[in-house]
Structure 1
Amino acid sequence: MVVYRFLLTPRWLGILALTLVAAAVMVLLGNWQLDRYHARTAINERIDAGLRMDPVPLRDALPAPPGGNGTAGPAPAAERAWTKVTATGRYDTSNVILVRGRTVDRKVGFEVVTPLVLADGTAVLVDRGWIPPAPGGDATAQPPVPAAPSGEVTVTGRVHLSESGSVAVSRRDGRLETRRIGVTQLAGELPYPVHGAYLLLDEQDPAADPTFKGVPVGYTNNWQNFGYVVQWWIFAAMTLFGYGWVARREARRLAGPVEERPVDRAAEPAPRDGDPVRAAR
């Protein structure tokens, strides 16, 4: 082990420190991706649970908005996302919201969101489904929107958290338009308190217009995060292995070539007469 004393020199101690820091950072990055894998797995499990469960009353998943008109209530707890709920009220057809730039089956169109006003005067936004743009126009051409049922409507849908990001809300041809379903921003355009999440419609009584296509639920790609976990941890192991390999190569270089032992000719047995070796000599 004397040959490895060079590892105690300042240069090699510095290399070791950098190696350990790099490996530690890679392990931490792997742990971070592992946390994201668990979080995304939990989301997918909630989506599956929402598909299987029986619907519960809206109030069991969403607290009532405590503020006044034009305000949004608190967002539900994360574990309440994708809960299947049922609610009864009347659609406010004077405040239909068109969410443009939404893709279903590789086609760009609009999601139609309509406030459902409940008996207590509050409302919950209901994503009634996807429709294509107006025929002959581009992807931003406002489509003809199928009329919402008049009178009392009972909807069954899954709780969808408000979409993040600040996006302008405008009114065009009597309809609100936006790019994201941001409940807080949309609530500011409406004349009643709004619940802090919206519903992705599954069923409706009276039945929904067949023009609407159901908005698919987006599962998270949790296995991609798991792949990153394995990748970062392998990189950490390779970094440590590389340090050991370089150190061993340096030790062999310092040790120098192995000298061959000299052949003692005197110790060789004397060749006999007629021995081909003697004849060769």
Structure 2
Amino acid sequence: MVVYRFLLTPRWLGALALTLVVAAAMVLLGNWQLDRYHDRTEINERIDAGLRMTPVPLRDAVAAPAGGAGRVGPPPADEETWTKVTVTGRYDQSNVVLVRGRSVDRTVGFEILTPLVLTDGTAVLVDRGWIPPAPGGDATAQPVVPPAPAGEVTVTGRVRTGEGGSVPVNRRHGKLETRRIDLPRLARELPYPVHGGYVLLDEQTPAADPAFTAIPVGYTNNWQSFGYVVQWWIFAGMTLFGYGFFARREARRRVGGLAERPTDRAAESAPA
């Protein structure tokens, strides 16, 4: 193993240190993607469980908001998102929220959120579905929104968290408009405390207007993250293999050089 003593030279020790740092970084990136894979898998499992489960009361998944008008309650815990809930109240048709820039089947339109006011005076925003822009206009043309049912309404749907990313909320033609479902920001525009999660409508009594298109549920691409795990770990292995390959090649070159030297000296000493 004397031939491998060159690995102790500064040049090769530096190359080894760099190789180990790069390989370790790739392993850590793979571990990060593995965590993302597990997180996304849990979300997909909650989505599936929410589809199958028996609805529970809203308050079992989302705590009631405290305080007065304009306040928002705590968001639902991660494990409560996508829980199927049922809640009864009255729609507040005077504070409909249009969330623009939402696509369904490659068509940009609006998600329609309407506050459902409960008997205790609090409200939960209900995503009633998607509708296209007004005919003849662009993607921002405010649509004609089918009126919510009057009187008491029972809603069944799945709990979602707000989207965050504070954006402006404007009132146009008597309706609130925004680009994101930012519950704290929307709550400041409403005359009652608002729950910290909203409900994606599945069923409603009385029945929902057929003009609405149900919002498709987007599963997370967990297998993409798993593919990145494999990719980073393979790169880490290739980095270590590369170091070993070049070290072996250098050792063979040195061995070959030692084997040639006696022959060269014999040739030099031979009579002409």
TM over 0.5: yes
Say which SS state the counterpart of residue 256 (structure 1) adopts: helix
SS in 2 for 1:67: coil
Matched with 2:112 is: 112
The alpha-carbon deviation at position 259 of structure 1 amounts to: 5.1
**Partner residue, 1:12:** 12
| Corresponding letter in the other structure for 1:111 | E
- Other-structure match for 2:154: 154
Q: Separation in 2 of the partners of 1:155 and 1:202? A: 8
SS at match of 2:4: helix
Residue 34 of structure 1 aligns to a residue whose secondary structure is helix
Residue in structure 2 matched with residue 215 of structure 1 by the alignment: 215
Deviation at 1:260, TM superposition (A): 11
Question: In the TM superposition, what is the alpha-carbon distance from 1:256 to its structure 2 partner?
Answer: 2.2
Q: In the aligned structure 2, how far is the partner of 1:164 from the partner of 1:4? A: 58
Could you say which residue in structure 2 is the equivalent of 1:236?
Answer: 236
2:112 counterpart SS class: strand
SS of structure 2 residue aligned to 1:210 = coil
Runs of 4+ in 1 over 3 A off after TM superposition: 257-262
Q: Which residue of the partner structure matches residue 58 of structure 1?
A: 58
Name the SS of the counterpart of 1:148 in structure 2: coil
How many Å apart are 1:68 and its aligned residue? 1.4
Residues of 1 paired with 2:148 and 2:207: CA distance? 10
Indicate the SS of the match to 2:89.
Answer: strand
What does residue range 1-281 of structure 1 map to in structure 2 within 5 Å? 1-257=1-257, 258=259
Partner letter of residue 77 of structure 1?
A: A
Amino acid at match of 1:216: P
CA contact (8 A) 2:164 2:183 kept: no
Which amino acid in structure 2 is aligned with residue 78 of structure 1? D
Report the TM-score, using the length of structure 2 for normalisation: 0.94
Superposed displacement of residue 11, structure 1: 1.1
Which one has a bigger Cα radius of gyration? 1
Q: Is the alpha carbon distance of 1:250 and 1:260 closer, same or farther for their aligned partners in structure 2, counting shifts above 3 Å?
A: closer
For 1:68 and 1:23, the matched residues in 2 are separated by 55
The aligned amino acid for 2:203 is E
How much has 1:261 moved relative to structure 2? 11
Distance in 2, Cα, partners of 1:166 & 1:250:
59
**3-state DSSP class of the match of 2:47?**
helix
SS at match of 1:247: helix
Give how far 1:70 is off.
0.3
| TM-fit CA distance, 1:67 | 2.0
1:27-55 CA distance string (max 9 Å, x none): 00000000000000000000000000010
Q: How far apart, CA to CA, are the structure 1 residues paired with 2:164 and 2:40?
A: 17
Q: What is the deviation of 1:165?
A: 1.1
Q: Which runs of 5+ in 2 are unaligned?
A: 264-272
Q: TM-score of the superposition, structure 1-length normalised?
A: 0.91
Tell me by how many angstroms 1:104 deviates: 0.5
Look up the equivalent residue of 2:67 and give its one-letter code: G
